[in-house]
Structure 1
Amino acid sequence: MKKKRISITDIAYALHVTPSTVSRALNGGGKVSEKKRLEIIALAKELGYRPNPIAKSLLENKTHTIGLIIPEFTHHFYSRMLAGIESVTSKAGYQLLICTSNENQNQEIKSTLTLLDARVDGILATISKMNDKFEHLQEVLDSGTPLVLVDRFSEEIETPYVISDDFKGAFSAVEYLCQNGCRNILHIKGPDNLSTTFNRFMGYKEALRKHEIELNEHLILEGSDPDLFEKITSCMKNHPLDGAFTYSDYLAFEIYKVASELKIPIPEQLSVIGYADEPISTYINPTLSTVNQQPFEMGVLGAKYLLNRIHDPTIAMETSRVETKLILRESCRNLNN
């Protein structure tokens, strides 16, 4: 038999007081003697009373709930970002409602509207890779619900952002390759329309420019190309590659597969650097050099920005770039050693 939830009315009946007196005592209100307040609190604890969150949210016009939309859970990056967010929101007394878009814009729109219908106090989101509509995000802002976007940037929406410094991250990776003798550096780009793809490509180009290496369009491939394996194979056969920088660690693994097939040793003949510091980077052989975006720190900062906006909607909007870290492992040769 289902156990009945203890209510304020039950406590009031047991102590022969009004429900409003119990409510004031439990919520620190006035006009209740200290003796009666302690008596009410003691009985509430004894009976296992828990406040009704729905009634409380109606009274305060707050749900103490934050909506989160991320592309997926499977990538280590998003799980670490989620851990950072939750480390802040849980301490602040907020619950998370988590939705995934699966990199699908229609699912992202549906999730956004669901969170608005749930009357969340604010929304944290990473926009999907194929996003070309932003009316749903503008609807969030128009409703007065605070919104902070994390990881990916769009000029279409004026709201606080927390992103990693992908330009510097890519620049540091490619500069390291250049400093260690690489002159023919392959780059595999990320999905079109993403700010992260653009910024990492710009970092790649700037590092080449600094080291006076001419940009070779034949050494730039699209990671979304269904014939990517064949394109990498052709590139390795027809160009004297000595370095590679990829949008992600998973794309770097594609280079490993081709290099193995063509019997090109890493790093003796080809130095490789990926991006994101996914667990795969330490599992493959040789271990993969990569760029760590500090996703936990991004999540922490994004959550703090959102809570600040919830508590004070008038505070200035900010765009914060989290520093990246170049992680050097076995896939890069080092001429200094």
Structure 2
Amino acid sequence: MKKKRISITDIATALHVTPSTVSRALNGGGKVSEKKRLEIVSLAKKLGYRPNPIAKSLLENRTHTIGLIIPEFTHHFYSRMLAGIESVTSQAGYQLLICTSNEKQKQEIKSTQTLLDARVDGILATISKMNDKFAHLQEVMDSGTPLVLVDRFSEEIETPYVISDDFQGAFSAVDHLSQSGCKNIIHIKGPENLSTTFTRFMGYKEALKKHGIGLKEELILESSDENLQEKIRSCLLNHQVDGAFAYSDYLAFEVYKIASELQIRIPQQLSVIGYADEPISMYVNPTLSTVNQQPFEMGATGANYLLNKINNPETELEIKTLDTKLIIRGSCISSSKAPSSVRS
């Protein structure tokens, strides 16, 4: 048989006081003697009383829950970002309701509706790569629910952001390749519509410009291309490629695969740098050079921004750009001019 949940009324009946007296005693209210307060608190503990979260949320007009929408869990980046978020929200007494968009706009829209229906106090979100409409995010803000976006930026939404300096991260990577003597550097771009794809490409272009290396369209590849592996193979065979900078570590591994098939040695003949510092980067041979975006710090900062917005709705628009770190490992020939760690 299901055990009956102890209520304030049960405690009041047992002690021959009013429910309002019990409520004041348990919530630190006045007009209750210290003797009676201790008596009420003692009995509440003995009976295993737990506050009704629904009633409490109605009273305070808060649910002490925060909604989170992320594209996926599989990438180390998002799991570290989640850890950063939770390190802040749990300490502040908030629970997370987590939804994934699987990089699909329809699922992202459904997630926002689910979280609004759950009356969360605020929402943290990373825009999906298939997202080109933002009415659902505007609806969140119009409802009075604070919204903070992390990792990806959109000029369509005026809300607090926490992003990494992807321009400087890409620039530092290609700058290192160029200082190491690379002249023909492939860039594999990220998904269309994402701010991160654009800013990393801009960083790539600016680093080439700094070293007087002309932009070659044939060395710029789209990750969405169904024939990506063939395009990489063609570049390596026909354009004397000596460097590669990829939007992500996983795209960098595509370069590893084709280079191995063509018996091109990394880093002796081809230097490679990825992005995101996935754990597997340490276990491929040679270990992969990459750019770390500090996802834990990104999540923690985003959570703090959201809590600030929840507690003070008039908080001014906050936009934080976090430093990136270039990590040079075995996939690059070290340059005496190029530092092993670069901060934006």
Q: TM-score, normalised by structure 2?
A: 0.97
Superposition pairs of residues 169-208 of structure 1, within 5 angstroms: 169-208=169-208
Match of residue 234 from structure 2: 234
Deviations 1:139-185 (A, max 9, x none): 00100100000000000000000000000000000100111111110
Matches of 1:2 and 1:182, distance apart in 2: 71
Match of residue 87 from structure 1: 87
Deviations 1:78-100 (A, max 9, x none): 00000000000000000000000
Matches of 1:136 and 1:291, distance apart in 2: 32
Match of residue 126 from structure 1: 126
Deviation of residue 111 (structure 1)?
A: 0.4
Matches of 1:122 and 1:185, distance apart in 2: 43
Superposition pairs of residues 133-282 of structure 1, within 5 angstroms: 133-282=133-282
Deviations 1:245-270 (A, max 9, x none): 00000000000000000000000000
Matches of 1:7 and 1:13, distance apart in 2: 10
Match of residue 319 from structure 1: 319
**Contact 2:176–2:335, Cα closer than 8 Å, also in 1:** no
Matches of 1:107 and 1:123, distance apart in 2: 15
Deviation of residue 335 (structure 1)?
A: 3.9
Deviation of residue 198 (structure 1)?
A: 0.3
Match of residue 107 from structure 1: 107
Deviation of residue 231 (structure 1)?
A: 0.6
Matches of 2:205 and 2:102, distance apart in 1: 30
Deviation of residue 5 (structure 1)?
A: 1.1
Match of residue 66 from structure 2: 66
Matches of 1:335 and 1:245, distance apart in 2: 16
Match of residue 342 from structure 2: none
**Contact 2:121–2:146, Cα closer than 8 Å, also in 1:** yes
Deviation of residue 336 (structure 1)?
A: 3.0
Deviation of residue 47 (structure 1)?
A: 1.1
Matches of 1:30 and 1:12, distance apart in 2: 17
1:331 aligns with 2:320: no
Matches of 1:51 and 1:74, distance apart in 2: 36
Output the amino acid matched with 1:233: R
Matches of 2:156 and 2:336, distance apart in 1: 46
Percent of pairs with identical residues: 81
Output the amino acid matched with 1:2: K
Structure 2 unaligned segments of length 5 or more: list them.
Answer: 338-344
Deviation of residue 6 (structure 1)?
A: 1.0
Matches of 1:52 and 1:126, distance apart in 2: 32
Output the amino acid matched with 2:8: I
Output the amino acid matched with 1:25: A
Output the amino acid matched with 1:236: L
Q: TM-score, normalised by structure 1?
A: 0.99
Match of residue 52 from structure 2: 52
Matches of 2:248 and 2:226, distance apart in 1: 16
Output the amino acid matched with 2:3: K
Match of residue 36 from structure 2: 36
Matches of 1:95 and 1:297, distance apart in 2: 19
Instruction: Provide the secondary structure at the position in 2 that maps to 1:82.
Output: helix
Matches of 1:55 and 1:70, distance apart in 2: 30
Match of residue 6 from structure 1: 6
Structure 1 unaligned segments of length 5 or more: list them.
Answer: none
| C-alpha RMSD over aligned residues | 0.8
Deviation of residue 334 (structure 1)?
A: 1.5
Matches of 1:20 and 1:334, distance apart in 2: 72
Deviations 1:15-67 (A, max 9, x none): 11111100000001111001000111111111111111000000111000000
Deviations 1:293-329 (A, max 9, x none): 0000000000000000000010100110010001111
Q: What count of residue pairs does the alignment treat as equivalent?
A: 337
Deviations 1:190-240 (A, max 9, x none): 000000000000000000001111011110000111110111001111011
Output the amino acid matched with 2:157: I
Matches of 1:154 and 1:13, distance apart in 2: 57
Output the amino acid matched with 2:28: G
Instruction: Provide the secondary structure at the position in 1 that maps to 2:3.
Output: coil
Matches of 1:153 and 1:308, distance apart in 2: 20
